[in-house]
Structure 1
Amino acid sequence: MCNKMPLYVKQQERNTNNNTTTNTMVNATAVGTAGKVVHSNSKQHQQKQSLQHQHHHYHHQQQQHRCRAAHVKQAFKHEPSYPFLLSPPSRYCENIFRRLMSLCFILLVVLVRNSACNFINQVAVHIEGGVQNADRVAKEHGFKNLGQIGSLTDKYLFEHSGIAKRSLSPSHTHLQKLSKDQNVIWFEQQIAKRRTKRDFAVEKVNDPFFPKQWYFHGGGHGGYDMNVMPAWQMGYTGKGIVISILDDGIEKDHPDLKKNYDPRASYDVNGKDPDPTPRYDATDENRHGTRCAGEVAAEAGNNICGIGVAYNARIGGVRMLDGFVTDAVEAASLNLNPQYIDIYSASWGPDDNGEVVDGPGPLTREAFASGIQKGRGGLGSIFVWASGNGGSYYDSCNCDGYTNSIYTLSISSTSKNGVKPWYLEECASTVASTYSSGSFNEPQIVTIDLRKKCTSTHTGTSASAPIAAGIVALALEANKNLTWRDIQYITILTARPEPMTDGQWTRNALGRNVSLRYGYGLMDAVAMVNYAKLWVKLPEKHICEVVSKEFRVPLINSVVRKSYLKVDGCQGTTNGVQYLEHVQAQISLTYSRRGDLKIMLTSPNGTRSVLLPPRPNDLVATTFDNWPFLTVHFWGEYAIGEWLLEIEDVSNHHSSSGTLTDWKLILHGTQENPVKHRMKSGFGNSITDSNDLEVFTTKSEDQIDKGSNLSTNQSPDSLCHKDCIDGCHGETAFDCKACKYFKLHSNGKCVSSCPKGFYGNPETQLCHHCIDQCQLCTGPLVTNCKSCEDGFYMDKANQKCSPCKKPCDTCQHNASNCTSCSKDYRLSGNTCVQTSVCAASEYRVDGECFPCFRMCASCYGPGEKQCLTCSSNFILTKGSCFPTPCSMGFYQDINGTSNSPICKRCHESCLTCRGSSSLDCNLCRSSYIKFKNECKLSTASIFCKTAECLQQHQNEAKTHTNFTFLLVFFSIILLMIFISFMILYFSLSHHKFCWANRYEKVGDQSSNKLVLSGDSGDEDEEKIEIK
């Protein structure tokens, strides 16, 4: 901890120690007794005993003086010394030097905290041979082994006291030693990463209650809710399920949480102790994890706050965001007690500013994989993740490596009105959504808060992920044998698109509605419970990778670059995939304005998924380096056939260019077909018939027995698909031995007619792709187009589809006759014009203008803390508008850009002020006193209770600081007076003072003599002589 004691106080202590030392030495010197003592011969023995007694008393006194002197000397050992400070007056220069050094240190800390790479003094290492071998290697190179990282085998965290705790560059000297050690397989110096909590701080409310939890009571658009209460009525409340919140800690003794708190699901990774209690401060900055925990497992029926989704689940917390967030910290958090914890909920990630592309490091990736493979006894840990709050910056969660992972259940948000919240990020990796906050006039989420309080103002996707974790807990209670893949299947199959009014839904090849905003729709708790009860284990998962043969393809602004890839699903290998789950397009490219790019992937069945929407804030010339863009939009589709990757620059910067270095597809799925099993249900789902739901399972024993009289490779005609002829190998249109009408050339599926984008050849009964710009066609030529894809129009003069003119998105009859416009443009007649600027009291999202909070004159969002300027009679303070005058600790000033009043913070020493300087204080804060019109820190404030006392100590400190040489001079005068007084005292008492006192018997030449030599400070010079 930094020493905040003023320098002049240290100077005062140093002078005091000097005086103590000098006085001790004087006392040690003044030890003799003056005058002669005459004894008779008859008392010689008594004289000898008396002299011996005086000697012992003298020796004991000398020892005490030496001990005191040694103590003072020891105290000076810790005082800093500078070789150029040669005399006491130069202490004044020393103070100036120290102040300059302190200022440089502060500036260095600020620079380090804001640097891109903050290397710390910890190194993650991979060493085999057990902890003893790791300890030996650590000791050999001067490191301390802090122990194994989570449950990762042979992965340890080393710390070195000789490495700076925070540095802009790695420690090459110490890392070179590790690199030369043959026992070290791998190592990585840890970097303090920035991880942003996905929450929007809003004002606390202290009296929430259950009826305010509108998302449980049909309060959503159309009367929808999370369908949690029917699951409770069935008896499912999360009992026996363990959930851990990975965040800034949880308030374990909160009255609405302590009954369900589980210490085995908790740990303080930042503080390295078992207590996850958050660090408290004046702003309640670390309330985030506690709020998330309350959403999941707040106790029911205790008249406190609201009710958690899984109110009988066990809840724990990991404190890991309130310190250096490194790869090792994240890995240890995700890998905490994986055989005990069922669900990990995380509502954080890289900055959602629309510029960052970042994800987990190597240790965290290994922790994810380890949890999936080994967690919950091999069933796999469930990782629920908030998709992100960067919507106002046009960020995409496909650029966040945590939500873009196949191992996480990525959850988005929708508002009470069923519309897109202003913070929502769009991406193809989002699986489903839950309710959360919306615009400023819509209700938010009820939960607990720090300091044993309650709140109804929890917001963002931070509030959505814990609700999803609670719903998953209900499903796991219904069936504890569900794997991590089962949970993802059940979530997708039961999610409802109907509650959302602006989903921009697309229908995939299996007829399911899916959205970049909401995934497959709103999660349904009771539907997930019902599915979980009847679920049958899925077929084994396979992974098939197919690499494109196109390398270093140029990317040009005006050209949509298309790359086709034929996929056989790795048939004939152990990695065969026919039926898809997750699909990843791993892409490497460079581009002059990365954020202008839009990347799309189209499956062999014609489903198009946007892997990367434009990000207008990401305008640097940079790369995607093997970034695995994830989509769940092809779930359940057939993998085999021709895939299409499209890369387009949607901007008007014609000078932009780049290179597609390489790309490949990573297909996750099964070789076996998860057979369709139908069940009657009282709840609907738009992906199937009104009263039926599709569940993917493996074939049950009953199904195998019923078909035992048939060949294992053939099904009876009555079980074949309606488009099959001459038998089949299964129940789908992909399993026909021959097609009754047409067969898709791309994947072998039988269809009754060729779909949009294909044309049929009656002779071969095959459906072939139209050329790219054709939506409908009769043949393979450009002149065979009957209608055009979006962005093209039917050019009758040339009998082909020609492109629309920018900024038209769609057009008809000619290139400039627009029917829809690109982003930031609107349609005026048949022309696209740039969207007009919003009014001063509005902000813009997706080209639309929305009103600011009522006290804001201008803003960047709907919240009351997102003001840029304030209305009349209000003053801006930290983004909020308050009635004039400014609150205590602030003063009124004028905003230089808007010329409007603004509250600025006073100097740290001022309680009230009229300006920013310490000279502008009206009243001083506690621990400060006013001295010459300036508030100065008082070192005596901890024991002084009156202003007179503080003033006295302030004056003394000031004197020591500015007139040190005068103090030294007066100290010498006082010392001389003291010595003179002692000499006078002993002279008057014993009539004689000398450095060596001789006692002898008068008149007797052979008498005994005792000679006492003065103490020189050296023990060897003390002499006792008996003559």
Structure 2
Amino acid sequence: MINLTEWKYRTILSVIFLLTLLQSKQTVCESVEVLTNSWLVELDHSAGQEVAKQVAKRTGFSYVSPVLGSGSLFHFKHKGVSPVRTRRSIPHSRILKAHPYVKSALQQTGFVRSKRGYKSLDSVLANLDVKQPSYYRLANIKEETQNEGKQSKLPTDPDFGKEWYLLNTGQSGGTPGLDLNVLEAWEAGYTGKGVTTAIMDDGIDYLHEDLRHNYNADASYDFSSDDPYPYPRYTDTWFNSHGTRCAGEVSAARDNNVCGVGVAYGSKVAGLRMLDQPFMTDLIEANAMGHKPGMIDIYSASWGPTDDGKTVDGPRNLTMRAIVNGVNSGRNGLGNIYVWASGDGGPNDDCNCDGYAASMWTISINSATNDGQTAGYDESCSSTLASTFSNGKSSSRDAGVATTDLYNNCTASHSGTSAAAPEAAGVFALALEANRNLTWRDMQHLTVLTSKKNSLHDSNNIHKWKLNGAHLEFNHLFGYGVLDAAAIVDLASNWRGLPERFHCTAGTVGEERTFNFDKSLRMTIDTTACSGGENEVNFLEHVQSFITLRSSFRGCVTLYLTSPMNTTSMILSQRPKDDDSKNGFTRWPFMTTHTWAEIPRGRWAMEVVMEPILGLKSNMETGIFKEWTLVLHGTRNAPYKDQPADKVRHEKLFMVKKHHEAGIVYE
């Protein structure tokens, strides 16, 4: 029997151990399995909520909710189990499994999910602006915002002049004209009316004067506390200001003398509080991403696996099901729009190792600075579709993204790709108002066709702009360019939809081979892209390469995929901090968007290169390649055949149609 002193001692040691885990910047789940007090419980047939509640009560558990609206899958909790522990609660699982109605019961593991762009308290306080008026050359701005001879009415919000990402006139050392071009979309009458964006984050200060009138309470929920009030938990460091800042970028009210204005200031914003607990679970993620898909149009996520340059992680089974259900069934079958921040791991990381940002079901958004360069924290990868803005490289306190902050305050220090994703969500809200019949695929096509190169450039001159085989210009850092709100609403308003989408498994290379610094691998797959079959693909959207390999130093491995139309995508870049020597990649779905609208038939080539890392002592690293499976996603029929393409207003669409009509298509 344990006495009280010994119990206290063990408790203190447990607390110290768990705090050590929480403070770690690594994905601790790789070395220590963390268990929570949540269970996924499957009941026989479609038992329903009432039966589930009875089962929970009789087994000593608390009923939480159904999972993804299922009548047989449920979320249970046990109050007698620690929310963070390192051993499975086998007796509690046995009690559940012994109930005659229970088919299975799985205690949920915990894993790390990190907010992107979080800054320290000192940085927050230094940049805090409690509704101080800001004039910022407004007289000059008015002269510069004329549309066809008609002067635009600018927002009167005090911080509008700081919102260079909405109207860049050179503030904080920026490049004039490098912005989201929203004024022209507003002038056309689009404000996001009737559209709801859910901010999946640490909560929203829905009492904020700039948010409360645009807050959609019916679409909101707190998955951390299991109640309908996703208000941020107070901390001295204002750590939970992240979601409120993101929300303001989308839906902050206009002309109310508070802070600035949102990209889609006429739209609604919902709060899904789900990041604020010791560890994330598959249940919480899935329920958040599947929450009221008929009421929510856009889900915006500014978080992901740890941006430490060595983590390879993505959505678990239930979360993937939630996303797939969302794109297939959400918005009455049109599909929910999932917007994802590409990551803040910098040049030492690769967002194709983030299974959320690299998913073909999400729109991955990178960021650019106010002068058109990539920010120091930006990750690059071939799955990035487009870019918006994060912060400037100026030392000015107002070089960040100006938006709402906790407790009715304002800030000009929001940054990171955390800031970029909500801006994109706001632009997409404008597009949905222009055309409520847009599908999730329509939004991706519109993004590709209307994003602009503008002044975006790689200051290191490594990643240059290139043309793919369909005459679309792309960049490994910025995707297809910076979103253009005026262009996307214009094209969306007359958009006629897309042909049906198919996926074709083009082939597999399964022969085991070794590689090292002196020996690269080159493999090819010749494909007809399922020609003549029910899954025939003639025009590409996403291309996935499922790769299995192991290396003595995973970060040395780089992968290059070349299409039959000679477009090369670097689907994995060097990651100097990734010293993994055991796990490697197991059927990891590396994805590229760089071959969009290309013809897939012919020879695809994969090159596996072991590249030396500066400062790495050993030059004897080796690898074993095991498998490459190529999967093509796209349409059988020409996607833009029936789309109206004005050469001046829709230059990209016009060029791609011309390219297809010139005889590239297979008859």
Match of 1:731? Answer: 661
194-203 or 251-260, which deviates more: 194-203
1:210 aligns with 2:166: no
Looking at structure 2, the residues matched to 100 and 181 of structure 1 have their Cα atoms a distance apart, in angstroms, of 36
Give the one of 652, 672, 678 matched to 2:637.
Answer: 672
Supply the AA of the counterpart residue of 2:297: D
Looking at structure 2, the residues matched to 614 and 313 of structure 1 have their Cα atoms a distance apart, in angstroms, of 41
Query: Offset of 1:523 from its aligned partner?
Result: 0.4
Query: Offset of 1:129 from its aligned partner?
Result: 2.2
Query: Offset of 1:291 from its aligned partner?
Result: 0.4
Match of 2:411? Answer: 455
Query: Offset of 1:693 from its aligned partner?
Result: 6.0
Query: Taking every aligned residue pair, what percent have the same amino acid on both sides?
Result: 39
Query: Offset of 1:675 from its aligned partner?
Result: 4.0
Looking at structure 2, the residues matched to 571 and 185 of structure 1 have their Cα atoms a distance apart, in angstroms, of 43
| Structure 1 counterpart SS, 2:128 | coil
Looking at structure 1, the residues matched to 310 and 500 of structure 2 have their Cα atoms a distance apart, in angstroms, of 38
1:556 aligns with 2:556: no
Query: How many aligned residue pairs are there?
Result: 609
519-528 or 180-189, which deviates more: 180-189
Query: Offset of 1:182 from its aligned partner?
Result: 7.8
Query: Offset of 1:160 from its aligned partner?
Result: 3.0
Supply the AA of the counterpart residue of 1:557: F
1:185/1:368 CA distance change after superposition, 3 Å: farther
Supply the AA of the counterpart residue of 1:107: I
Supply the AA of the counterpart residue of 2:646: K
Give the one of 619, 623, 628 matched to 2:584.
Answer: 623
Which deviations, in whole Å up to 9, do the C-alpha atoms of 1:420-468 show, x marking residues without a partner? 1101001001000012213352611110110100111111111111110
Give the one of 303, 314, 320 matched to 2:274.
Answer: 320
- Within 5 Å, which residues of 2 pair with 1:582-661? 582-621=542-581, 622-651=583-612, 653-661=618-626
Supply the AA of the counterpart residue of 2:290: N
- Within 5 Å, which residues of 2 pair with 1:43-192? 100-101=9-10, 103-110=12-19, 113=22, 115-116=28-29, 117-127=33-43, 128-131=45-48, 132-135=50-53, 137-138=55-56, 141-152=59-70, 154-176=72-94, 184=102, 187-192=105-110
| Structure 2 counterpart SS, 1:218 | coil
1:427 aligns with 2:381: yes
**TM-score by structure 1 length?**
0.57
| Structure 2 counterpart SS, 1:598 | strand
Q: Tell whether the 8 Å contact from 2:178 to 2:371 is kept in structure 1 after alignment.
A: no
Looking at structure 1, the residues matched to 547 and 94 of structure 2 have their Cα atoms a distance apart, in angstroms, of 33
1:660/1:105 CA distance change after superposition, 3 Å: closer
Which deviations, in whole Å up to 9, do the C-alpha atoms of 1:488-524 show, x marking residues without a partner? 0000000111321325222211122211110000100
Looking at structure 1, the residues matched to 574 and 469 of structure 2 have their Cα atoms a distance apart, in angstroms, of 25
1:465/1:583 CA distance change after superposition, 3 Å: same
Match of 2:155? Answer: none
Could you say which structure has the greater relative contact order, defined with CA pairs below 8 angstroms and 6 or more residues apart? 2
| Structure 1 counterpart SS, 2:212 | coil
| Structure 2 counterpart SS, 1:551 | coil
1:272/1:645 CA distance change after superposition, 3 Å: same
- Within 5 Å, which residues of 2 pair with 1:100-499? 100-101=9-10, 103-110=12-19, 113=22, 115-116=28-29, 117-127=33-43, 128-131=45-48, 132-135=50-53, 137-138=55-56, 141-152=59-70, 154-176=72-94, 184=102, 187-201=105-119, 202-203=123-124, 204-206=127-129, 207=132, 209-219=159-169, 220-221=174-175, 223-323=177-277, 324-391=279-346, 394-441=348-395, 443-499=399-455
| Structure 2 counterpart SS, 1:419 | coil
| Structure 2 counterpart SS, 1:680 | coil
Supply the AA of the counterpart residue of 1:734: I
1:180/1:616 CA distance change after superposition, 3 Å: farther
| Structure 2 counterpart SS, 1:223 | coil
Q: Tell whether the 8 Å contact from 1:602 to 1:609 is kept in structure 2 after alignment.
A: yes
Which deviations, in whole Å up to 9, do the C-alpha atoms of 1:576-631 show, x marking residues without a partner? 11111011101111111000000011111111000000000001203101110011
Query: Offset of 1:165 from its aligned partner?
Result: 2.9
1:609/1:329 CA distance change after superposition, 3 Å: same
Q: Tell whether the 8 Å contact from 1:310 to 1:473 is kept in structure 2 after alignment.
A: yes
1:736/1:429 CA distance change after superposition, 3 Å: closer
Q: Tell whether the 8 Å contact from 1:296 to 1:470 is kept in structure 2 after alignment.
A: yes
Looking at structure 2, the residues matched to 422 and 508 of structure 1 have their Cα atoms a distance apart, in angstroms, of 27
141-150 or 661-670, which deviates more: 141-150
Q: Tell whether the 8 Å contact from 1:585 to 1:663 is kept in structure 2 after alignment.
A: yes
Q: Tell whether the 8 Å contact from 1:120 to 1:167 is kept in structure 2 after alignment.
A: yes
Supply the AA of the counterpart residue of 1:624: F
1:98/1:582 CA distance change after superposition, 3 Å: closer
Q: Which runs of 5+ in 2 are unaligned?
A: 135-158
Q: Tell whether the 8 Å contact from 1:678 to 1:694 is kept in structure 2 after alignment.
A: no
Match of 1:819? Answer: none
Q: Tell whether the 8 Å contact from 1:411 to 1:431 is kept in structure 2 after alignment.
A: yes
Q: Tell whether the 8 Å contact from 1:291 to 1:458 is kept in structure 2 after alignment.
A: yes
Q: Tell whether the 8 Å contact from 1:298 to 1:308 is kept in structure 2 after alignment.
A: yes
Looking at structure 1, the residues matched to 167 and 448 of structure 2 have their Cα atoms a distance apart, in angstroms, of 23
1:607/1:620 CA distance change after superposition, 3 Å: same
Q: Tell whether the 8 Å contact from 2:548 to 2:584 is kept in structure 1 after alignment.
A: yes
1:135/1:265 CA distance change after superposition, 3 Å: closer
Supply the AA of the counterpart residue of 1:665: L
Query: Offset of 1:108 from its aligned partner?
Result: 4.3
Q: Tell whether the 8 Å contact from 2:471 to 2:655 is kept in structure 1 after alignment.
A: no
Query: Offset of 1:142 from its aligned partner?
Result: 4.3
1:83/1:577 CA distance change after superposition, 3 Å: closer
- Within 5 Å, which residues of 2 pair with 1:503-582? 504-582=464-542
Looking at structure 1, the residues matched to 352 and 424 of structure 2 have their Cα atoms a distance apart, in angstroms, of 20
1:514/1:152 CA distance change after superposition, 3 Å: farther
- Within 5 Å, which residues of 2 pair with 1:780-819? none
Q: Tell whether the 8 Å contact from 1:422 to 1:438 is kept in structure 2 after alignment.
A: no
Q: Tell whether the 8 Å contact from 1:150 to 1:333 is kept in structure 2 after alignment.
A: no
1:200/1:217 CA distance change after superposition, 3 Å: same
143-152 or 556-565, which deviates more: 143-152
Query: Offset of 1:205 from its aligned partner?
Result: 2.7
Q: Which runs of 5+ in 1 are unaligned?
A: 1-81, 85-93, 697-720, 722-729, 738-1027
Which deviations, in whole Å up to 9, do the C-alpha atoms of 1:685-744 show, x marking residues without a partner? 5x47xxx56579xxxxxxxxxxxxxxxxxxxxxxxx9xxxxxxxx93423477xxxxxxx
| Structure 2 counterpart SS, 1:103 | helix
Supply the AA of the counterpart residue of 2:165: Y
Looking at structure 1, the residues matched to 73 and 662 of structure 2 have their Cα atoms a distance apart, in angstroms, of 48
Match of 1:844? Answer: none
